[in-house]
Amino acid sequence: MPDEGHTQQSLAENSAATPAQRRVGPTIRILVIVAIVLAAVVGAGRWGYWQWAHVSETDARIHADTIAISSRVSGWVVDLPIIEGDKVSRGDLLIEIDSRESRLKLTEYGARIAGLAAAQQQITSQIDLIDRTTTSRVEAVRSRADAARVAVEASREQFEFARTDFERTRTLLAEQIVSRQRLDQVHTELSRAQERHQKAQADLAAALADVGEAEAERGEMNVLASRMDALRHEEAEIAAQREQQALDAADRTIKSPIDGVVSETFIDRGEFVSPGQRLMLVHNPDLVWVEANIKETDIRHLAPGMPVEVKIDAFPDREFSGTIARIGQAATSEFALLPNPNPSGNFTKVTQRLPVRIAIDETQGVLRPGMMAVVNIAIPGR
């Protein structure tokens, strides 16, 4: 049969092959296996050397100074001109809160200050008028009082002289030296001198009363001056309230503190916000860095200023370079919310990690906070 003939021919050919030909196949397979093993060993050696000569971390992230925008006042949001992802410049309007009531109070305080200013002007005019009308009068009555004092002193001397003359004349009359008529004349002079002295005293009292009245009128100036001081204090108090209200009105217009990008918004137009409430997040895309948590066993190889190769998961075809800017002074476990006590005495040692901040060179604003990165740092001397 044809199949049996073909089989017999194949057996004949195999039996005719030399021993050398039969050893070629296993040798090739061995060589291939040896080549594969050598390639694996070389690859493992290169990988091991690279790991020995580098500090690498795959759990690194992009960070940025994210500013939380909050309000210092409460009110209704009347304008929200931006959305997430919008670029803003320093001073651009982010949020506007209803300020109608605040501005009305500003107007009220302004009116009250204007009223106090008018009252102060009126009191100033009254003080000037009193000063002009009483200055000359006080001088006049004081001059008249001085003249009255002189007249009293002169009349007192005349009265004392007349009384002495009368006593002497009465003594002489008793000795029959002078006549009764002379005594009557002296007595008349004494009465006249006494009247003049009493009149001079009355004129002095009237002049002193006029001086007191004139000085009392000038004393009203002191009362008005005290009222003026009270008005000034009241004006200063209202001015402080107006400044505080002006701050409240200004705080109702929230502007961007930096040039950056709006990362996220937490409110919508028409919502009511409270003081301290987080309204949105803003960051500068040009000021980003990489935060990598490096094992404590590798920290001894690092120092600020060392170059770093950075690979971003979002851009696998691009390479970024940077330098170590700062090495943390405490392990990340020290800032954990939950402590890790060991009351039982059982202990499992875990390698701690320290945060390392890496400054990235030119990024063209393509890096976003939170992106994953891989950092590779060559150890000097290896």
Alpha-carbon distance of 298 to 351, in angstroms, equals 10
pLDDT score recorded for residue 121: 92
pLDDT digits (tens, 9 = 90+) for 111-148: 999 999 999 999 998 888 888 877 777 777 788 888 88
Alpha-carbon distance of 246 to 105, in angstroms, equals 9
Tokens 């009270």 correspond to: 230
Higher confidence at residue 253 or residue 214? 253
pLDDT band at 239 (very low <50, low <70, confident <90, very high): very high
Tokens 């860095």 correspond to: 289
Quote the distance between the C-alpha of residue 212 and its chain's center.
58
368 pLDDT above the threshold of 80 = yes
pLDDT band at 23 (very low <50, low <70, confident <90, very high): low
12 pLDDT above the threshold of 50 = no
**Percent of residues, the chain, with pLDDT higher than 90:** 38
Mean pLDDT score, 203-229: 82
Alpha-carbon distance of 139 to 134, in angstroms, equals 8
Cβ neighbours of residue 217 closer than 8 Å, sequence gap 6 or more: 130, 133, 134, 137
pLDDT digits (tens, 9 = 90+) for 242-287: 999 999 999 999 999 999 999 999 999 999 999 999 999 999 888 8
pLDDT score recorded for residue 166: 78
pLDDT band at 96 (very low <50, low <70, confident <90, very high): very high
- Calculate the average pLDDT of the chain: 84
* pTM attached to this predicted model: 0.61
Q: What are phi and psi of 66, to 5 degrees?
A: -90, 125
Q: DSSP state, 257?
A: S
The b-or-e profile of 109-131 (16+ CB within 10 A means b, else e) is: beebbeebeeebeebeeebeebe
Query: What are the structural domains, with CATH classification, of the chain?
Result: 67-99+253-281 (2.40.50.100), 100-251 (1.10.287.1490)
pLDDT score recorded for residue 339: 61
Alpha-carbon distance of 303 to 258, in angstroms, equals 31
Range with the largest mean pLDDT of 49-53, 154-158, 212-216, 226-230:
226-230
Alpha-carbon distance of 102 to 252, in angstroms, equals 9
pLDDT score recorded for residue 382: 67
pLDDT score recorded for residue 255: 94
pLDDT score recorded for residue 213: 80
Mean pLDDT score, 212-237: 86
Alpha-carbon distance of 73 to 57, in angstroms, equals 45
346 pLDDT above the threshold of 70 = no
19 pLDDT above the threshold of 60 = no
- Closest by CA to 194, choosing from 145, 161, 171, 169, is 161
Cβ count near 231 (within 10 Å): 17
The answer to whether 31 and 340 have CB atoms below 8 angstroms apart is: no
Length of the chain: 382
